[in-house]
Amino acid sequence: MYYLLLIFLFPLSLLPLSVLYLLSDALYWLLFHVIGYRREIVKDNLKHAFADKTDEEREVIMKRFYKSFCDQWIETLKLLSISKSALNKRVKGNWDVFKMLDQEGKNTYALLGHTFNWEWANVICQLNSPQQFAGVYLPLENKAFDRLMRYVRTRSGGVLISMKALKSGLQQIAAKRHIIGMIADQNPSVTEVALWLPFMHREAPFFRGPEQMARRARGAVVFAGIKKVRRGYYEVKLELMCRDASETNSEDITRQYVAFMERQLRDQPENWLWSHRRWKHIRKV
């Protein structure tokens, strides 16, 4: 099945992005206007997050989100064949932050969110990191698609560490200076041990793991924001939160990360995964 996917998708990825975006436009029309994919979830999320906006303003954000959502996966398809030089032209970043921490001998924990295009951000960070770059991920249930995404996410020299085998994965890179990238706005599977914080006007559970890992390793923590400049062009902004996580107060890293993500959402509200069931859990009192 994996090779059938590759045989079908790789030639498709060779098409120019200008052509692939026509496919994205058709996909948007299908998902938004015909199927209504998770439309009620998106609508409800936006209503709570942006209660100060009018229905018309939220409708504009919703349509732009679906367009960006479709672009995300078309652009991810392009990762099968896009050259390093082409990707570097399309995604800029202040990579000197990584270089500075490397010179200081620091291992780094880079926290980002489901802002588009996080798949491009993962690969571009690999290309511009002097350290070994490793991404923590949750394997897909479909083994063929999981293998395909692992190929896409590691084609520039990165390493993937499964959340289901975190300890052994970390041991693989322990001997090298490294950067561990983590999308930290996912829903924890076990909410009883999560840190519950206000997020866009509603309480949501957040993983404690990224902060705990960084504190144990005395690692630096960087927040990675993604801004969409225009279609097919992005900017990654790295913000150094601390050089040594063990010197921060408990929960401070996670709280600052949540505040960072809120700034991202307010700056470009259409550029986040609003179809994600981020607020599906309710804290047990």
Residue 284: inside a domain, yes or no? no
Residue 285 has pLDDT above 80, yes or no: no
In-domain check, residue 278: no
Whether 283 maps to a domain, the answer reads no
Question: Which stretches of the chain are assigned E, i.e. beta strand?
Answer: 91-93, 108-112, 132-137, 159-162, 178-183, 195-199, 202-206, 220-230, 233-242
As beta bridge partners, residue 115 has 272
pLDDT value for 156: 87
What three-state secondary structure class fits 197? strand
pLDDT of residue 166: 87
Asked whether residue 158 is assigned to any structural domain, the reply reads: yes
Q: Measured between alpha carbons, how far is 176 from 205 in angstroms, rounded to an integer? A: 32
Cα 48 → chain centroid: 22
Residue 280 placed within a domain: no
Query: 205-233 pLDDT, tens per residue?
Result: 999 999 999 999 999 999 999 999 999 99
277 occurs within a structural domain? no
- Looking at residues 47-74, what average pLDDT do you find? 98
Domain that holds residue 121: 2-271
Model confidence at 95: pLDDT above 80: yes
C-alpha 36/C-alpha 54 separation (Å) is: 21
The rounded radius of gyration (Å) of the Cα atoms in the chain is 19
User: What is the number of structural domains in the chain?
Assistant: 1
pTM comes to 0.95
Cβ 283 vs Cβ 203: under 8 Å: yes
